[in-house]
Amino acid sequence: MIYIGTAGFSYQDWKGHFYPQEFDKRYMLEYYSSSFPVVEVNSTWHALPSPRTIHSMARRTPRDFQFIVKAYQGLTHNYRDNEEDFRRLLEVIRPLEDYGKLACVLAQFPWGFKNTPENRDYLRRFRELIPERDLVVEFRNEGWITDETLDLLRELGMGFCCVDEPRLKGLVKPHVILTSHIGYVRFHGRNYEAWWDRNRESWERYDYLYAEDELREWVPGILELDRGAERTYAIFNNHYRGKAPRNAVMLASLLPAERVVPLGTGGEHPRLWED
């Protein structure tokens, strides 16, 4: 089955676009989880919350709701002396495991994490320090897309994150690849102008609304992933002003209904389709 959701949910600029204009931020998770079956928690990249916070999130969501946890930056952007960060991440995800709501851990490596023997060894270490959990790896550098890499991911039981992002030199192209029992596609938008521009705010990189034809390009690939996977996730990271939930609903409408975990109404979102 295909689970469709967004990267994050607690955005103030989603008010009036996804959430009602005067909506109380304290109830965003409940509202979101009545609309989508999965969320990718991105805040864990910036700082690891307490297990109590994660327990509260698990408790406040429907029984079958799923959480994807993005690995802390100390694991994906620092490659030495970080055993304590791995230990703390395992503590943080434990409540989700107890509730049966942990979909997987997503490890997003930066463009500067290149395909070298040392970094391949680090992937092995990553797996050793997070054993027996579903892991998905997102590379930003196209140099990783080799048969050797894919064989290594299969050996380690780590999923490959397919990406849709600006098709700029050196960035990962829109490959359709399955290396574990989890299929994963992450939609970052195609904002070419802002991607490498250091004079812009970080959110501007993800200010992009997909057209229906652009999402339709991915339908065959998502269905191909889903034929070989136990679960397939399609996650939208083009979060500015509610573009992610808007495109998530659009993608769901393009896929066969019997292959998609149903989306809820979430209050019917009267402004979901407005700019």
Asked if residues 133 and 160 have their Cβ atoms less than 8 Å apart, the reply is no
Q: What whole-number distance in Å separates Cα of residue 176 and Cα of residue 220?
A: 9
For tokens 């991911």, name the residue. 153
Q: Total domain count for the chain?
A: 1
Asked if residues 245 and 6 have their Cβ atoms less than 8 Å apart, the reply is yes
For tokens 């469709």, name the residue. 4
Residues in Cβ contact with 267 at an 8 Å cutoff, skipping those fewer than 6 apart: 20, 31, 34
What are 212-253's pLDDT values in tens digits?
A: 999 999 999 999 999 999 999 999 999 999 999 999 999 999
Q: What is the predicted pLDDT for the residue at 201?
A: 74
CATH number at residue 201: 3.20.20.410
Higher pLDDT, 122 or 264: 122
Q: What is the predicted pLDDT for the residue at 265?
A: 54
| pLDDT averaged over every residue in the chain | 93
With CA atoms as reference, report the closest residue to 30 among 67, 70, 59. 59
Strands (E), the chain: 2-7, 38-41, 66-70, 102-108, 135-138, 158-164, 182-187, 231-236
DSSP codes, 70-121? EPPHHHHS--SS-HHHHHHHHHHHHHHHHHT-EEEEEEE--TT--S-HHHHH
Backbone conformation region of residue 80, classed left if phi is above 0, alpha if psi is from -120 to 50, else beta = beta
* Residue 48 within a domain: yes
Confidence of residue 267 (pLDDT cuts 50, 70, 90): very low
For tokens 């700082």, name the residue. 47
What are 145-177's pLDDT values in tens digits?
A: 999 999 999 999 999 999 999 988 899 999 999
Asked if pLDDT for residue 271 goes beyond 90, the answer is: no
Q: How far apart are the first and last CA of the chain?
A: 30
Asked if pLDDT for residue 274 goes beyond 50, the answer is: no
* Residue 54 within a domain: yes
Q: What is the predicted pLDDT for the residue at 227?
A: 97
Compute the average pLDDT of residues 76-93.
96
* Residue 274 within a domain: no
Asked if residues 137 and 104 have their Cβ atoms less than 8 Å apart, the reply is no
Q: What whole-number distance in Å separates Cα of residue 118 and Cα of residue 137?
A: 16
* Residue 199 within a domain: yes
Structural domain including 10 reads: 2-268
Compute the average pLDDT of residues 113-135.
97
Q: What is the predicted pLDDT for the residue at 270?
A: 37
* Residue 221 within a domain: yes
* Residue 273 within a domain: no
Asked if residues 137 and 125 have their Cβ atoms less than 8 Å apart, the reply is no
* Residue 168 within a domain: yes
What are 169-220's pLDDT values in tens digits?
A: 899 999 999 999 999 999 999 987 777 777 777 767 788 999 999 999 999 9
Q: In b/e form, how buried is each residue of 59-83, taking b as 16+ CB within 10 angstroms? A: eebeeebbbbbbbbbbbbeebeebe
Compute the average pLDDT of residues 56-64.
96
Compute the average pLDDT of residues 90-113.
97
* Residue 275 within a domain: no
Q: Collapse the DSSP code of 264 into the 3-class scheme (helix H, G, I; strand E, B; otherwise coil) and give the result.
A: coil
Q: What is the predicted pLDDT for the residue at 206?
A: 85
